Amino acid sequence: MATSAFSPKVKLPGHSYSKTSHVSFDYFEQTNSPAAYGYDYFVSLPPTYDTSESKQWPLILFLHGAGESQREANESYVTLRHGVPKIILCYDKLKSGEEPKLEIPLPGRFSKRQPNKGDLAGMPVKDEVAELVAENFITVTPSLNMEWGYGWNATILSALLDEVEAFYRVDKDRMHVTGFSMGGYGTWDVGIHTPDRFASLMPICGGGDTVLVRNVKHVPQWVHHGERDDIIPLSASRKMVDALKKLNADEVKFTTYPDMAHDSWTVAYDNIEVWRWVLEKKRGSRSKA
């Protein structure tokens, strides 16, 4: 497994929701960080990773939203309720002969709130989506702890990826980043911070710096946003897309969802064409310096 003498620091998640039987899904503590803190993170490996000893694998960095952040001890399970880690855990369910859906509760701090009718965490994942993502990518899911403040830190994320690259057989020409809400902003932010690292960006209901986005005009991007989003307005994504088009960006796709509010990620991530698009992307010659 290792590509160097470095070995990531395993950490117990403090819950059983990340336990798997058919796919490797481990939890680590970031040890390489330029700041006073790092991100704990989950890593999934394709089931054939250990038997394909010389193969280098595409990687997906997934950045969750603010509602999936830790605020109390052992709350990393909330990070698993949506997006890429949900897909990985649903794959494990599928291979166990169960319906590919999760039953991970909201943290206790939400108990006094009204039930969230827009919470789509329990929706099943399509079989073909679960299989494509789990069997073809290394996935990396940092879990942000609000103790260190709101928002993803691109410098720390870059150091985390250095750590992952040092241990796993990552195809450095096929590294991708996606995220929703706070993680949609983080997707553009880390892409702008390291513009020659990623083969694609897929921000969902996010936004970013319309000036600095010029740094990633060469990176293929597929942007998603719900037209009824009342938390992060559609205009936040549209401004980024418009800025990229004015720069004659190489490839920008923009999908809006007329009937979707803030959670447009459940539908976007359950679209097999999204993952086929990601899988085919590779860094261009410009980014191989």
Q: Which of 18, 28, 1 is nearest to 85 (CA)?
A: 18
DSSP-based three-state secondary structure for 271: coil
Q: Is residue 262 part of a domain?
A: yes
Burial track 40-72 (b if 16+ CB lie within 10 A, e otherwise): bbbbbbbbebeeeeeeebbbbbbbbbebbbbee
Predicted pLDDT at 159? 97
DSSP-derived pairing of the beta strands 252-257 and 221-226: parallel
Q: Is residue 1 part of a domain?
A: no
* DSSP per position, 76-141: GGGGGSSHHHHHHHHHHHHHTTS-S----PPPGGGTTSPP-TT--TTSPPPHHHHHHHHHH-EEEE
| 155-180 tens-digit pLDDT | 999 999 999 999 999 999 999 999 99
Predicted pLDDT at 1? 58
Q: How confident is the prediction along the chain (289 residues), in pLDDT tens digits per residue?
A: 556 667 889 999 999 999 999 999 999 999 999 999 999 999 999 999 999 989 999 999 999 999 999 998 899 999 999 999 999 999 999 999 999 999 999 887 665 554 455 689 999 999 999 999 999 999 999 999 998 889 999 999 999 999 999 999 999 999 999 999 999 999 999 999 999 999 999 999 999 999 999 999 999 999 999 999 999 999 999 999 999 999 999 999 999 999 999 999 999 999 999 999 999 999 984 433 3
Structure tokens at 95: 């291979």
Q: Is residue 178 part of a domain?
A: yes
Q: Is residue 252 part of a domain?
A: yes
Contact (Cβ atoms closer than 8 angstroms) between residue 136 and residue 280: no
Q: Is residue 288 part of a domain?
A: no
What is the DSSP secondary structure assignment for residue 194, as one 8-state letter? S
Structure tokens at 186: 């983080």
Position 112: which residue type? K
For residue 185, which phi and psi values (nearest 5 degrees)?
A: -60, -40
Report the domain count for the chain: 1
Predicted pLDDT at 286? 45
Contact (Cβ atoms closer than 8 angstroms) between residue 100 and residue 90: yes
Q: Is residue 157 part of a domain?
A: yes
Domain around 263: 9-283
Q: Is residue 207 part of a domain?
A: yes
CA distances from 209 to 95, 117, 173, 204 (A): 42, 32, 25, 15
Q: Quick one: how far is CA 20 from the chain centroid? A: 19
Residues 6+ apart with CB under 8 A from 285: none
DSSP-based three-state secondary structure for 37: coil
Q: Residue 158's domain is classified under what CATH number? A: 3.40.50.1820
Predicted pLDDT at 110? 65
